[in-house]
Structures are given as structure tokens and as C-alpha cells.
């Protein structure tokens, strides 16, 4: 099962994603691919578009990143956070045995 934890506190957002869905073999699992695409896009997008500072790790089956922005980007980060949380929620709703969102 893939566990997704999103937390936010003012100008800091943390994203932790662990596990594999187990729906199919590695490399052909659509749930893992969908989650991976969201994680990669979130991390890369906030770094390039919001000039966010990222720390932590982003490995296959294990993501634990901390995203921090300046005061002037706080609202933009909150908006991006909500959009990606929505995406994870939709995947979890479609595949409740493979993805759990806290």
C-alpha cells in the first residue's frame, strides 16, 4: 500500500509518500506511476515556479520532502498544496486498497 501524508504550516509543506501499491509488477503499475508523476511534478513545480527550498529525499517508493517558500509565496504554495492533495485524494478514491491519504 502507498501511504501519502501531506502537512502544512504557514510557509512550509511536507510531503511523505511510502510504499508500493502492489497492483502490478514494478514498471507496469499504473497506481505507482500516477503517484510518482504527482510527486515528481509537485517537487519540481514548486522548486522551479515558486523558487521553493526543498530538503529531504525523493527515492523510488520513499519520498520525504520539506518545501519552504518565502513570505511572498505563501499563498501560492497553499494553492499548489491543495491542488496536489486533490490529485492524491482522487487516486486514493479510485484505488482505496492501494493508496491511503492522511
Q: What is the mean pLDDT of residues 8-36?
A: 91
Picking from 46, 45, 40, the residue whose alpha carbon sits closest to that of residue 69 is 46
Which pLDDT tens digit goes with each residue over 65-81? 999 999 999 999 999 99
* Least reliable range by pLDDT among 8-12, 18-22, 40-44: 8-12
Picking from 1, 25, 5, 23, the residue whose alpha carbon sits closest to that of residue 14 is 5
**CATH fold of the domain at 2-101:** Alpha-Beta Plaits (3.30.70)
As given in the structure block, the three cell numbers for residue 44 are 519540481
Amino acid at each position: 500500500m502507498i501511504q501519502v501524508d501531506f502537512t502544512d504550516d504557514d510557509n512550509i509543506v511536507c510531503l511523505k509518500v511510502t510504499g508500493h501499491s502492489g497492483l502490478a509488477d514494478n514498471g507496469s503499475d499504473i497506481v505507482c506511476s500516477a503517484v510518482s508523476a504527482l510527486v515528481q511534478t509537485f517537487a519540481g513545480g514548486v522548486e522551479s515556479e515558486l523558487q521553493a527550498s526543498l530538503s529531504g529525499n525523493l527515492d523510488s517508493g520513499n519520498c520525504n520532502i520539506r518545501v519552504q517558500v518565502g513570505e511572498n509565496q505563501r499563498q501560492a504554495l497553499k494553492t499548489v498544496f491543495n491542488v496536489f492533495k486533490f490529485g492524491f485524494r482522487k487516486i486514493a478514491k479510485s484505488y482505496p486498497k492501494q493508496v491511503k491519504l492522511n
